[in-house]
Structure 1
Amino acid sequence: MTATAAPPREAAGPPRTSVVGTELRRGAGPWAGAAVAVTVLVTMYAKAPGWQSRWTDTTDMLHIVAGLLVGPLVLALGCRQGGRDRRSGTLELLGSVPRSPLRRILLSVAPTVLWPAAGYLFAAAVCLLATWPYVGGGRPFLELVAADAVTLSVLGTLGHLVGRLVSWRLTAPLLAVVGYVVFGTATRTEFTGFWLNPAVEHFYTWDRPVWWFAPLWVVWCVGLALAALLAYAAGSARLRLLALLPLTAAVAAAVPIAGLPREGPWRQDPAAARLVCDGRTPQVCLPNVDRELLPDISKALTPLNDRLRGLPGAPTRWVGGPNAPGPGETALPNPDLDAVRGELSRPDLYLNSAVQFLFSETCRSEDFAGPDVERLGEIHLAVSEWLAPTPEDYGVPVGPGTQRHLDALRAKSPAAQRDYLARYMAADGCRPEEVPIP
């Protein structure tokens, strides 16, 4: 029996690479993704004390950076990428290959769609991980981060189309400037459709977005991009009619977004706004989202509470958060400016702010008048400085009248100081003539 030789194996050829993969690797696409990631990370790092304590703050800051800084950048990068084939003189050559115009434009626009979104998502993930050790509760709003990534992809698509249509060399930087001006101006102007602007800012830490906002935002943005792509690549009446479908979907999604009230898609989150209190007297209560700050704030208010305890008019409870204080309660300052990474960075400044909140009065102009108004202002400032001196790096030199009252307070015995403070707090702050002189 004779052995039969196996047929020779064919030499392996080079690995096949997809057309999309090749398109993603060439040109400015990878550099665009890197530019987006660096822009987000550098900006967020510079603002880290302001967002690294709450998920809402992190999401808000990422949203502002994406809309106001990265959005115009992506417009310019997309415009530059879109003009690549026109600058290299290969548009006619590409038109001769056996691909439909729509497929050609989809391949060409792929880098400006995918790379900016990838760079933003990478940077956002880094920022969310940097926030995680310091948050007091809640969850990251990943749906809003994804919606911002889609926005950048759409801006890259629109910039790409502008680059293919306009041959002027300064189109890309001009497009970035226009985008920055439009997005920035729209955030400071009240108009119908205010929340269609991708750079609108949100402020409150105890809110959560309504569930339908992110999906509708994606439909609104993607519908615009698809309509623009189909209109650009339309070689027939059928494609032009087809472009009306995503345009209709975009308009339908934009209507409820444009109709949002001034607070936009944000609603109070009962779990985040729920009060968490310490066990002291008077109590110090913060919204659940700031519960990590409760020990620091309670400690900062201890010297003031020790002086106020048992006096008429003293607060029965300090309350922070969205709900108005009840009878006998006093509102707490928002700790945003004094909190860094879950800790109160300036207890002295926070205590000074709490005293200002304690003695603030809402008076009618006709009541708050007369020759004793100036004296009242001096006494009020003297009492505030006596209870909680303004830190030296924030202080403003006091006038001679205030200094005179402050010296008089400091010269009193502890019993006399407490007696004066009781009379001061019992007086009507809207009637200057009733406020006692130290």
Structure 2
Amino acid sequence: MTTTTDTLAAATPKAARHPLRAEAVRGFPPLAGIAVMVAGGATMIASAREWQGDWAETAGQVHDGLLMALPVAAAAGCWHGGRERRRRTEELWGTAVRPPLTRLLACAVPVGLWVALGYLLVVACVNLATWPYALGDHPHPILVPGDTAALMAAVLLGHVVGRIVPSLLAAPLLGVAGFAGLALPEGNGVQPLDPASFTVQGSWPVWWQPLAVTAWTLGLAFALALAYAARRRATALLPLAAALTAGALLAQVGDATWQPDPLPRRQVCDTSTTPAICVSAQYGGLLPQVTTALSGITGKLRGVQGLPVRWADREDGPRAGEAQLPILSPLGFSLVRGRLTRPDRYAWEAAAALSDRGQCGRQPEGVSLADDAVLSYLAPSPAQSEFDAVAAKGNAATRAHLRASRAARAELAGMDEQRRRTWLSAYFAARAACDEKGVPSL
């Protein structure tokens, strides 16, 4: 009985595995995914200071990584498309039962899936790297579907080129040509159709834009594949029509497919100080650090009248009654991984905005001496000693101005608290009115 059962089990054929499985887990496709992951990940690692801590900048930098990832994906697809020619098995494949289109997709789809997986791993890793340092905002995944579709389309287009062009140099040349095409300067007529373009900073695409990008890129790729391998080549007209429709929509609408991000335009304020301190809601988590950095200034201004109502870091400039806070973007200089790199310099720039008279025109020397004394009292420049050392080696007029500046600084610093508060109130009132005659002397 046992022998009969074993014989029947041995005679029963095992279920045939799908050919896509063998293509997906062996050979070149996993290497293609790793190549795209390395190409995208290397650029992100090299520029980590410029995006960690800012969700919007992270999404933008990952999208910009398509400039490297798309040519790599196209070259990978092209190299895999020429596999049968390199193996000299084209005639053998021609005798297979499966139609040409099925054989093409069975070979190309695993590469596309691995490339998409490599890109999605990069997206996941960089978002995890930003999360501990995030200061506000939220992740922006809206660009990911269109980017992933563009990468898969690049693989399919490259695969067809690899089957058509009988040259070992087809893959590297296609990658170089793709990089050159994507690197065209902004303002060219085809930019709205470039899946790697990021045309409107501080904005995000409308909900249908990723769908249009997907239809544009994958539509072209499937149209080319059908025209090459389908038994009825007229079927290529359907994806071609979808691609052209989506492309025409993207080209016609242009920048209108992007809508401004309202978050950077909203301010988050600490009203416990005078002036109040307001930062962009995009960096709302930075407000305690900014308040601490400016605490030396706000402490010295307690009880002073005529001050601006608030500091604000609006990129379009301060409004009436406001002073400009230092702009923290782009990341990587004043702000790195959620921390102010130079709080002393940040405070000096904020104090300089309080005494700024750019809207008042050229001021006489007495006013500039008062401005210098106020700035030195509120937040001395980290490089003040170096500036003074250079001025001390200048001509007679420069040395005389330095002596006057030092005397004015000493005069203001040596006042008793009540007198200094009265003097600063008169100074800021004159500054607000651009009244040079109203600036009290030192």
TM-score normalised by the chain length of structure 1: 0.82
- How big is the shift at 1:172? 2.3
Q: How does 1:158-177 map to 2 (within 5 A)?
A: 158-177=157-176
Which of 183, 194, 197 lines up with 1:197 in the alignment?
Answer: 194
Separation in structure 2 between the aligned mates of residue 406 and residue 15 of structure 1, nearest angstrom: 91
Match of 2:427 among 423, 428, 431: 423
Deviation at 1:118, TM superposition (A): 0.6
Structure 1 residue 108 displacement after superposition: 2.0
- The one-letter code of the counterpart of 1:86 is R
Cα deviation code 1:299-356 (max 9, x no counterpart):
1122233344555653211123467643211232332332233332321232233345
Kindly provide the amino acid, as one letter, of the partner of residue 229 in structure 1. Answer: A
1:247 aligns with 2:240: yes
* SS in structure 2 of the partner of residue 140 of structure 1: coil
Length, aligned pairs only? 422
1:287 to 2:280 alignment = yes
* Distance change (3 Å), C-alpha of 1:428 and 1:295: closer
User: Given the alignment, which residue of 261, 268, 277 partners 1:276?
Assistant: 268
Q: What secondary structure sits across from 1:251 in the alignment?
A: helix
SS in 1 for 2:149: helix
For residue 102 of structure 1, what is the aligned residue in structure 2? Answer: 101
The change in CA–CA distance for 1:21 and 1:388 in structure 2 (over 3 A counts) is same
Residue pairs, 1:176-325, within 5 angstroms: 176-186=175-185, 189-201=186-198, 207-235=203-231, 238-239=232-233, 241-260=234-253, 262=255, 265-269=258-262, 273-281=265-273, 282-309=275-302, 311=304, 314-321=307-314, 325=318
Displacement of 1:33 after TM fit? 0.7
Structure 1 residues without counterparts, runs of 5 or longer: none
Deviations 1:254-290 (A, max 9, x none): 23322445586242235x6432211322211223231
Q: Any conservation in 2 of the 1:29–1:112 contact (CA below 8 Å)?
A: yes
Does the residue aligned with 2:184 lie in a helix, a strand or coil? helix
**Partner secondary structure for residue 9 of structure 2:** coil
In structure 2, the CA distance between the partners of 1:136 and 1:152, relative to structure 1 (3 Å rule), is same
CA contact (8 A) 2:377 2:412 kept: no
**TM superposition shift of 1:120:** 0.7
Shift in Å at residue 387 of structure 1? 4.2
What letter is aligned with 1:268? D
Query: Any idea what SS the aligned residue of 2:278 has?
Result: strand
The verdict on how the C-alpha distance between 1:433 and 1:57 changes in structure 2, with shifts beyond 3 A counting, is same
Contact 2:53 2:337 in 1 (8 A): yes
- 1:309–1:119 Cα change, 3 Å: same
Q: Is the 8 Å Cα contact of residues 376 and 409 (structure 2) preserved in structure 1?
A: no
CA gap of 1:4–1:340, structure 2 versus 1, over 3 A, is: closer
Note if contact 1:409-1:417 (Cα within 8 Å) is conserved in structure 2: no
Note closer, same or farther for the CA distance 1:109–1:345 as it changes in structure 2 (3 Å cut). same
| Structure 1 position 28, deviation (Å) | 1.8
**Alpha-carbon spacing, 1:427–1:328, altered in 2? closer, same or farther (3 Å):** closer
The question of whether the paired residues in 1 share the 8 Å contact of 2:430 and 2:438 is answered with no
Structure 2 SS opposite 1:277: strand
2:86 partner SS: helix
Moved more, 375-384 or 39-48: 375-384
Residue of structure 2 in register with 1:353 after alignment = 349
Letter in 2 for 1:194: Q
> What stretches of structure 2 of length at least 5 have no aligned partner?
none
How far has the Cα of 1:9 moved from its partner?
A: 3.1
**Aligned partner letter, 1:274:** R
Q: What SS does structure 2 have at the residue aligned with 1:327?
A: coil
Deviation at 1:246, TM superposition (A): 1.3
Change (3 A) 1:199 1:431: farther
Counterpart-to-counterpart distance in 2, 1:324 and 1:173: 48
Relative to structure 1, the CA distance from residue 161 to residue 410 in structure 2 (aligned partners, 3 Å threshold; closer, same or farther) is same
Q: Answer yes or no: is the 8 Å Cα contact 1:76–1:175 preserved in 2.
A: yes
Are the aligned partners of 2:53 and 2:135 in contact in 1 as well (CA < 8 Å)? yes
Letter in 2 for 1:177: V
Contact 1:335-1:350 within 8 A present in 2 as well: no
CA-CA distance at 1:58 after TM superposition: 1.3
- Aligned residue number for residue 135 of structure 1: 134
Matched residue SS, 1:124: helix
SS of 1:97's equivalent? coil
1:404 CA drift (Å): 4.7
Q: Is the 8 A contact 1:195 1:264 kept in 2?
A: no
1:354-384, Cα deviation, whole Å (9 max, x unpaired): 3454455665xxx957xx7999889867765
Matched residue, 2:32: 32
Question: Structure 2 vs 1, CA of residues 149 and 376 (structure 1 numbering), >3 Å: closer, same or farther?
Answer: farther
Greater helix fraction, Structure 1 or Structure 2:
2
Instruction: Give the SS at the match of 1:98.
Output: coil
* Matched-pair contact (CA < 8 Å) for 2:50–2:336: yes
Q: Does 1:55 align with 2:55?
A: yes
For the Cα contact (< 8 Å) 1:312–1:426, is it kept in 2?
Answer: no
In structure 1, the partner of 2:153 is: 154
Q: Residue 243 of structure 1 aligns to a residue in which SS?
A: helix
Q: Aligned partners of 1:228 and 1:387: how far apart in 2?
A: 67
Distance 1:203 1:429 in 2: 38
Q: CA RMSD in A?
A: 3.6
